[in-house]
Amino acid sequence: MQAKKLNSPIVQVFVNPLTKTWVILTEFRESQDIMLRRTKEFDRSEEFGNIFKSLIPDHHISMRMTNPQFKAHRRLIQDSMTPAFLNEVSAPRIYEAFTSLVGVWTEKARLANGHPFSASDDCFKAALDAIWAVIFPLGPKDSVTNAQRQLLADTTSINSASSTNIDEPVVFPETPIPDAPKSVLTLTESLEHMGTSSQREAMIATALEKAKGRFSSDRKEEHVARCAMDDILRRELAAAKRENREPAYNTRTIFDELFGLLIAGHDTTSTTATWGFKLLSDHQEVQKKLREALRSGFPAAITECRQPTAEEICNTQIPYLDATQEEIIQKSMTSGGLARTAMVDTVLLGHHIPKGTSVLLMGNGPDFIEPPIGKIPEDRRSKSCQEAKGRIGSWDPADSNLFKPERWITKEDGKESFDPTSDPLLTFGLGPRGCFGRRMAHLELKIVLVLLLWNFELQSLPGTLMLFATFEFIIEWSWSLSWKFGIFD
Ligand code: HEM
């Protein structure tokens, strides 16, 4: 707002009388330069780090890169984002959780009789099941989505919506959430919660204890990583052997790094996926094109009248699927801005920035989904920014506000391919402090989009429910019935 009012991509704001002023930058190239190339001048902002400090005090998210612990913490969890771990551990767990969501929505569609119903809460819970199973061993009784599916499968009818108004949403009974996931939901919903939750601590301690037992066994098959926690323990075991000491499993560092993955990866991914459903429901033409791309991308699944497997989803490149996913990530507004603190006295677009100043780098608004504010002379930019000119494409201001996956597609010799560098994107941040879980988020969103669009049609909402504040969808199960009965060939 202030940037537009003053017609300047860089402004300072007084957040409150007791803190220093903040600098807000609304310009992609300069923000990208700060995150990618000026990493000695700008690091994690104190305010951003403080959000997590009360909950996970020993997680690297609130550390500066100059802290010697930062690298050690990153090493502990680094295997969880390798292609092998993502394909062999994460993908099947995520796939299972969202297949359960398909089950829940199939039951809901049966009971709703054409009425709309809210989708965001179910997506939130399935995303919790998914990330939980990737990080900790998840037993069938811990899955919130499975319990909900069972409850609905046992229900024969619901009378919560008016029989005369088909647009009135149906409200479904909710199964009680088991204690451990409930404590996680409570904590993630209130990040300002002080101290630690005893249920969460007990849950992690029990899981660690069980894994410790498996890892001390002589049987090789017990040592295979089944979740991120196993990987961390294996690393600790190896380090202890090297250093000729007892392995230390129950440490604050291990607790916080594990739990940190869960909170950093849950809400963000489910919010982005829910925005995806909303955008696809509002843009029927994109949904139709994407469904057609999926049908031609997974021919074996069509022939065999089944949904694509996790392996097929991981190993198949469908440019329009990648492009839609990138467009959802850009338009989702899951993270509107990235925060950094100046570690030294420096200069930004010709302005002096004293050491300790917090800088907010906007990831939407002008220069993203609106035309840029003014034209910045090249010589006002940093040297590194000038040198990197042209490496990333730029939005066409005429349509930057539209939901248009095609902007991420390039054509060469008639062949379409997905180009992630064709447009600016800051939703995950960038550089060494950018999102650690970006690859897992992409994988999860890909699986969600394929499974949900394969099984359901997200219809347009009636006007009263079209608000951006609500996430309600009419979900029709005709698609799933269609392939089940082989109507499409
Ligand atoms: C759509 C989903 C996601 C979005 C939009 C998102 C966004 C972000 C953003 C904006 C940051 C800060 C980046 C910066 O300051 O430059 C971040 C950091 C982080 N994210 Fe994500 N994230 C997502 C999913 C995940 C997942 C699935 C995980 C792990 C399982 C994860 C783990 C982390 C961690 C550990 C950090 C801290 C990195 C550091 O401090 O160096 N995120 N994420």
* Nearest atom (ligand 1) to Cα of 62: 40
Per-residue model confidence (pLDDT) at position 489: 26
Instruction: List per-residue pLDDT tens for the chain, 489 residues long.
Output: 677 777 888 998 887 777 778 899 999 999 999 999 999 999 999 888 888 888 889 999 999 999 999 999 999 899 999 999 999 999 999 999 999 999 999 999 889 888 888 888 899 899 999 999 999 877 667 788 998 999 999 998 887 666 677 778 888 888 887 776 776 677 666 554 444 566 677 777 777 777 777 776 666 666 666 889 888 888 888 888 899 988 888 889 998 999 899 989 998 999 999 999 989 988 999 999 999 999 999 999 999 999 999 999 999 999 999 999 999 999 987 877 899 999 999 999 999 999 999 999 998 888 778 888 888 889 999 999 999 888 877 777 788 889 999 999 999 888 999 999 888 889 999 999 999 999 999 999 999 999 999 999 888 876 555 554 444 444 443 333 333 322 222
- Distance from Cα 426 to the centre of ligand 1, integer Å: 11
Residue 251: name the closest of 58, 41, 466 by CA: 58
- Which atom of ligand 1 lies closest to the CA of 429? 16
- Residue count of the chain: 489
The vertex-362 CA angle with 356 and 364, nearest 5°, equals 170
Does 435 belong to an annotated binding site?
yes
Query: Which residues does 365 contact at the CB level (< 8 Å), separation at least 6?
Result: 3, 26, 336
pLDDT at 369 (0 to 100) = 80
Q: Are 148 and 174 in contact (CB under 8 A)?
A: yes
Q: How far apart are CA 322 and CA 420, in angstroms?
A: 9
**Which protein residue's CA is at the shortest distance from atom 11 of ligand 1?**
435
Instruction: Using the mean position of ligand 1's atoms as its centre, give its distance from the Cα of residue 217 in Å.
Output: 35
Q: How far is the CA of 45 from the centre of ligand 1 (A)?
A: 14
**pLDDT score at 149:** 92
Domain 80-331+434-485 CATH assignment equals 3.40.190.80: no
Ligand 1 center from residue 441 Cα (angstroms): 9
Per-residue pLDDT tens digits for 167-178: 788 888 888 877
- In degrees rounded to 5, what are phi and psi of residue 43? -140, -175
Residues 6+ away with beta carbon under 8 Å from 101: 122, 123, 126, 145, 451, 452
Rg for the chain (alpha carbons), in Å? 24
Helix, strand, or coil here: 100? helix
ipTM: 0.99
Place of tokens 């930058």: 25
Task: Please tell me the predicted confidence (pLDDT) of residue 140.
Answer: 66
Pocket probe for ligand 1: among 428, 439, 447, 448, the residue whose CB has the most ligand atoms within 8 Å is: 428
DSSP string, 137-205: ---GGG-HHHHHHHHHHT------S-SS-TTSPB----PPPPHHHHHHHHHHH-TT--S--HHHHHHHH
Ligand 1, pocket residues at CB < 6 Å: 35, 44, 60-61, 260-261, 264-265, 268-269, 272, 334-335, 338, 427-429, 433-437, 440-441
Tens-digit pLDDT profile for residues 310-346: 999 999 999 999 999 999 999 987 877 899 999 999 9
Check if the beta carbon of residue 182 is closer than 8 Å to that of residue 166.
no
Pocket probe for ligand 1: among 361, 436, 447, the residue whose CB has the most ligand atoms within 8 Å is 436
- In the chain, the amino acid numbered 6 is L
At residue 232, the pLDDT reads: 87
**4-35 exposure pattern, b = at least 16 Cβ within 10 A, e = fewer:** eeeebbbbeeeeeeeeeebbbbbbbbbbbbbb
By DSSP bridging, strand 22-25 and strand 358-362 are: parallel
- Element at 348 (helix H, strand E): strand 346-348
Choose the residue to mutate in 268, 331, 362, 426 for probing ligand 1, maximizing ligand atoms within 8 Å of C-beta: 268
Give me the residue spans of the domains in the chain.
Answer: 2-37+338-426, 80-331+434-485
Per-residue pLDDT at 476: 42
Q: Enter the DSSP assignment of 373.
A: S
